[in-house]
Amino acid sequence: MLRVYPERADYTGDLLNGLPVAVTSHRGSSAFNLSVFQGDELELKPVIPYSYDREKITPYDYFVYLDEQETSVYYAVSHQSGIYELTFGHTDPVYLILNSRRGELQWDGKAFSGYQQLQNNTRIFVYMEPDIQPQGANDKAASGQNAHLVLSYPSNTKQLKLRYGISFIDTVQAKKNLYREMSGFDPSGVAEKGRQTWNETLGKIKVDGGSYDDKVVFYTSLYRTYERPVCISEDGRYFSAFDGEIHNDNGAPFYTDDWIWDTYRATHPLRTIIETEMESDILNSFLKMSEQMPEFWWPTFPEITGDSRRMNSNHGIATVIDAYRKGLKGIDLARIYPAVRNAVMEKTLAPWSGKPSGELDRFYHEKGYVPALREGEEETIPEVHGFECRQPVAVTLGTSYDEWCLAQIARELGKEDDYEYFLKKSYNYRHLFNPQTGFFHPKDKDGNFIEPFDYRFSGGVGARQYYGENNAWVYRWDVQHNVADLIHLMGGRENFIRNLDQTFREPLGKSKYDFYSQLPDHTGNVGQFSMANEPSLHIPYLYNYAGQPWKTQKRIHILLNQWFRNDLMGVPGDEDGGGMSAFVVFSQMGFYPVTPGIPAYNIGSPFFAKTVISLPGGKAFTVIARNFSEENKYIQSAELNGIPWEKPWFSHDDLKNGGTLELIMGNKANKQWGSASQDAPPSEGELTD
């Protein structure tokens, strides 16, 4: 529940803005702020900037030297509590400043307590104790904007420790959380417990062979997949911003803060392998949110402060059918189905909106696509966000996938009418396919393609008038549930491969300055492919569907070596709280879940000689790469549990039951392995009337 990171402009920032206490949002600043100062009391500020050096960050502790102040800062973190150890190099008086930013604080002579006001009537509470009582405090209470209190300590103070607990319920619970987790003022002991916890957690996957840098990238990426969502249950209770009430969790931890548009693709599927109980608890938390909100709609971007309804489509639906088909326990489809169905049928499909469905939605459900506006045409639909626009192609393609997921849930529940209805709608992407160009192309309300049209640059900033953050070259492949039909639409496997190849070869078309000024999230480019944005993640694996798995093997190594490195520039764009990192984890292990909802994995090319995944129940799934080396990235042959294996994919059952995938590697492609059409990964297939 407690997350912190240094507050600064970015990783290269020259100043720290005080010391963090708790981060409540993936991109937000710290809730509360702690500053320490030595010198003249007249120089005190609510938040003090620091020059710094010798910074070291691990998952469980943090050290930084504030060089101008000559103060050493050591910090260790637990689940709902943290502790600072401050060592001073000067003899001047010491001042501690706790800032609530917006809220109330009290000092009772022993401890700070108070809250910061967040959005949507949500508060975060703190209870903080120093190990040495001060000689004075500037006041007993403070409230309002930038409310802060100051403790003063005498000259020659050598060291101070501060421990604290946080809560989303009240200050009493914050104190309980602190005392439950810390009996004293021992940051090293807290850090050691944290180190053991993280070693146990990250040790669920063990890799051997491969370079040091690849291992660092792998385990750092695996660590990041745990950044969100967070469990906010506190002694069996939790505050829900979805109805503003405090609830009993009835023994099931409550999770929130999950940007599902990013994480449904690989982060959720990774948990269906190594954190099955957690994934089940997360999905049941989504159900509770749906029941607590005024409308019974499945969440899209649940945060600490409620559902922010960001991005487009309702891909949380995919997490449900994916977990259910992989056999996770406790997934009540009958209770969940109305919420996920309502999210498509009752909530507007307009991006970044939590409004009920309207005119745009009626058009989609009748005509099968979201209509686009022509350049300069005025927007008249009230549900449409002024900056985010309609994103009609992105929404049509994304909703087609969501409706495929709905069809699969309906089928599992025996709702045949709904199954047939949503299965047919899952082909709605066809309405926007332009057979003359092979792209998904926006249409106006009369069914005419928007012309003239540039598949790289039409659509304004982020291509939002037609797509979403990415251009048509990326959304050309956004049919995760039906790659077989996409191959058919493009005229067969050869054309499909040709178009895939060209995606990685097509020039930017403008200078980098002009390209990125219009498409700032379309980074990590290889041609028109964007390694830095989630809609691209499955694209390198699509060669498997068209008979050329060797190109997937080649491309995965190129992309990870170029864009995910053990250095400052080692992530090509927004990491999205595990959304991007889970792609790295899967790809380095040697496989990837192209279609959440189809319990199968595409085989890529591993970065390690051996990977062992510990599974629930004591089983293990092992990937062995024989003849492994940096240049031996091509699969020559394979065996699954000792049986020759010609398919460039395997099922989740193959994995969850334990076993071994053995790959014989070489430095030249075996272009025959996995190439037969009957061995292609599973897909919905072509529509039959």
DSSP code string of 321-333:
HHHHHTT-TT--H
Torsion of Cα atoms, 35 then 40 then 41 then 45, to 10°: -40
CB 302 within 8 A of CB 229: yes
| 98 & 244 share domain | no
Cα separation of 650 and 652, whole Å? 7
- Residue 615 corresponds to which tokens in the numbers above? 């599974």
Q: How far apart are CA 470 and CA 456, in angstroms?
A: 9
149, containing H or E segment: strand 148-153
Number of domains composing the chain: 2
- Judgement on whether residues 126 and 231 belong to the same structural domain of the protein: no
233 and 116 co-located in one domain:
no
Task: Indicate whether 346 belongs to any domain.
Answer: yes
Is residue 616 included in any domain, yes or no? no
Q: How many CB atoms lie within 10 A of CB 408?
A: 25
Q: pTM higher than 0.75 for the full model? A: yes
């949507």: which residue's tokens? 120
270 and 164 co-located in one domain: no
CA 224 vs CA 59, 270, 537: distances in Å = 9, 12, 17
Please state whether beta strands 102-107 and 49-51 pair in parallel, antiparallel, or not at all (unpaired). Answer: unpaired
Are the C-beta atoms of residues 646 and 676 closer than 8 Å to each other?
yes
Indicate whether 91 and 155 sit together in one domain. yes
Are the C-beta atoms of residues 330 and 303 closer than 8 Å to each other? Answer: no
Segments of 156-242 assigned E as strands: 159-167, 205-208, 230-231, 237-240
Q: Containing domain of residue 131, as a range?
A: 15-202
Q: Residue 149: what pLDDT?
A: 98
Cα 373 from Cα 391, distance rounded (Å): 10
User: How far is residue 325's CA from residue 323's CA, in Å, rounded to a whole number?
Assistant: 6
pLDDT for 547: 99
CA separation for the pair 372, 388 (Å, rounded) = 13
- Residue 153 contacts residue 96 (beta carbons within 8 Å): yes
- Pair 661, 604: CB distance under 8 Å: no
Structure confidence at residue 686 (pLDDT): 59
Pair 263, 309 in one domain: yes
Return the DSSP state at 195: H
Between helix 267-274 and helix 276-292 the angle, nearest 10°, is 130
Other beta carbons within 10 Å of 608: 22
Neighbouring C-alpha atoms within 13 Å toward the C-beta of 258: 29
Count of CB atoms situated within 10 Å of the CB of 38: 20
Residues 6+ apart with CB under 8 A from 678: none
Final residue before a domain boundary, out of 178, 202, 226: 202
Tokens of 420: 């047939």
Give how far the C-alpha of residue 146 lies from the chain's centroid of Cα atoms, to the nearest Å: 31
**Residues forming a β-bridge with 663:** 625, 638
526 and 468 in a common domain: yes
CATH of the domain at 409: 1.20.1610.10
Judge if 130 and 269 occupy the same domain: no
Domain end marker among 587, 617, 641:
587
- All residues at 6 or more sequence positions from 422 whose CB lies less than 8 Å from its CB, including other chains: 403, 404, 406, 407, 410
- Whether 223 and 180 map to the same domain: the answer is no
Q: Are 643 and 630 in contact (CB under 8 A)?
A: no
Phi, psi torsion values for 278, nearest 5 degrees:
-60, -45
Write down the pLDDT at residue 160: 99
pLDDT of 28 reads 73
Residue whose tokens read 């019974």: 296
pLDDT at residue number 689: 39
363 in any annotated domain: yes
Provide the CATH number for the domain around residue 198: 2.70.98.10
Amino acid 530: pLDDT: 98
Residue ranges of the chain whose pLDDT lies below 70: 686-689
DSSP 449: B
| Pair (123, 225) in one structural domain | no
CB 444 within 8 A of CB 451: no
Domain-embedded: residue 680: no
Instruction: Judge if 436 and 488 occupy the same domain.
Output: yes
Whether 172 is in a domain gets the answer: yes
Instruction: Answer whether residue 602 is part of any domain.
Output: no
Whether residue 401 lies inside any domain: the answer is yes
Give per-residue burial for 563-595: e unless 16+ CB within 10 Å, then b: bbbeeeeebbbbbbbbbbbbbbbbbbbbbbbbb
Is the four-CA dihedral 194, 195, 196, 197 of positive or negative sign? positive
Residue that is last in its domain, among 169, 202, 235: 202
- DSSP H stretches of helix in 454-511: 472-475, 483-489, 493-503
Does 648 sit behind a cis peptide bond, omega within 30 degrees of 0 on the bond before it? no
Contact present, 198 and 227 (Cβ < 8 Å): no
How many CA within 13 A on the CB side of residue 393? 31
Q: Which of 511, 512, 442, 426 is nearest to 475 (CA)?
A: 442
Q: How many residues are present in the chain?
A: 689
CB burial class (10 A; 0-12, 13-18, 19+) of residue 251? Answer: exposed
Query: Does residue 681 fall inside a structural domain?
Result: no
**Two structure tokens written together for 39:** 């010198």
Residue 392 sits in the same domain as residue 453 = yes
